[in-house]
Amino acid sequence: MKYLLLFFLFITQIARAKDPKYIVVAKDSTGDFHTIQEAVNAVRDFSYFPCKIFIRKGIYREKLVIPTWKTGIILEGESRDSTIITNADFSGGLIPGEKKDMFGKDKFSTFTSYTVLIAGDDITAINLTFENTAGNVGQAVALHVEGDRCIIRNCRLLGNQDTLYANKGRQYFQNCYIEGTTDFIFGAATAIFEGCTIYSKKNSFVTAASTTKNQEYGLVFMHCKLTTDTAVTKVYLGRPWRPYAATLFMYCTLGAHILPEGWYYWEKEKNEETARYAEYKNTGPGAAIDKRVAWSHQLTDKDAKSITITKVFKGWDPSKQNY
């Protein structure tokens, strides 16, 4: 019976490898491809059906791009902490064939420093680590997301400044660990972070939203934990990268490292008139509201009741994408 079961599993794996909707990536010879980029390239363009790319444990040193014409892809790691996509590009670093600096040298920018770029719609990532190991050298993005209806579930995002660039579209982060130093969650997307751990590595700013004037919601944190170690004591919840930045923390646990003021205006007093910063029923030593800046506000019970995932996402319900 034991050998029969092993044979059945072996046959199933072979069948899956030949299934265009199921691809295996492995560093050794046990998968269909050795790199994740090869697997993404093999997925049918604008596919009508989801395609799962299962990634075995390993360190994948790639600059991975999921372009706009690759849709409905599920990237699933074998183990969150042991399936790692890593790179070390940073703003100011060299990049062949791109914009040159004043001395005629090629350079990366914040927008091209990513380890992983998700530009396609309906992309899901599960049980993965996205990492930028450039260090404290300025902007260095681990994950850049600009596709619509993208889900990042049970993943780690590791970096320093600008770890996560939530650029545009609707994005849902669930049960993730996100760490960084300055503005390490930034961008203009409508993004919900639910049940995530947000770890500040130094005294600085957690978020830098660039929400547009016409967006009702920007970065929304629900039931998240904001943590650090004992050396970090002065962290702001956010500052406005653009004037109409919108950020909300509700039902979150805020550590003692969160400053009483909560929010910073980024040396532009006009931002105080337009930035949309709010909180609701947060707990923890950093949640006291008596010294919050006057231009932020606390939601009423009525306002908070109307904030649901489907409302923020204008009808999209990520819970129905259970891959």
Say how many residues make up the chain.
323
In tens, the pLDDT along 189-239 reads 999 999 999 999 999 999 999 999 999 999 999 999 999 998 999 999 999
In tens, the pLDDT along 24-50 reads 999 998 999 999 999 999 999 998 889
Question: Residue 63: is its pLDDT beyond 70?
Answer: yes
DSSP 184-214: -EEESSEEEEES-EEEE-SSSEEEEE---TT
Q: What is the pLDDT of residue 100?
A: 58
- Between CA 278 and CA 256 the distance in angstroms is 19
In tens, the pLDDT along 172-191 reads 999 999 999 999 999 999 99
Q: What is the mean pLDDT of residues 285-299?
A: 97
Q: What is the pLDDT of residue 323?
A: 53
Q: Name residue 18's amino acid.
A: K
- For 232, the 3-state DSSP assignment is coil
Instruction: Count CB neighbours of 266 within 10 A.
Output: 20
Query: What percent of the chain shows pLDDT beyond 90?
Result: 85
Q: Using alpha carbons only, give the angle 149, 322, 157 rounded to the nearest 5 degrees.
A: 60
Q: What is the pLDDT of residue 322?
A: 54
Active site amino acids: 162, 183
Question: Residue 106: is its pLDDT beyond 90?
Answer: no
Question: Residue 286: is its pLDDT beyond 60?
Answer: yes
Residue labelled with tokens 């990237």: 75
DSSP 256: T
Query: Residue 2 is encoded by which pair of tokens?
Result: 């034991």
Q: What is the pLDDT of residue 2?
A: 47
Query: Residue 162 is encoded by which pair of tokens?
Result: 């600008």
Domain boundaries, the chain: 24-315
If you average pLDDT over every residue of the chain, what do you get? 91
Contact status, residue 145 vs residue 165, Cβ threshold 8 Å? yes
Contact status, residue 194 vs residue 174, Cβ threshold 8 Å? yes
- Between CA 16 and CA 30 the distance in angstroms is 12
Could you give the strand order of the β-sheet that contains 276-280, starting from the edge strand earlier in sequence? Answer: 22-25, 51-55, 73-77, 124-126, 150-153, 170-174, 190-194, 219-222, 246-250, 276-280, 297-298
Q: For the domain 24-315, what is the CATH code?
A: 2.160.20.10
Residue labelled with tokens 């680590």: 129
In tens, the pLDDT along 142-182 reads 999 999 999 999 999 999 999 999 999 999 999 999 999 99
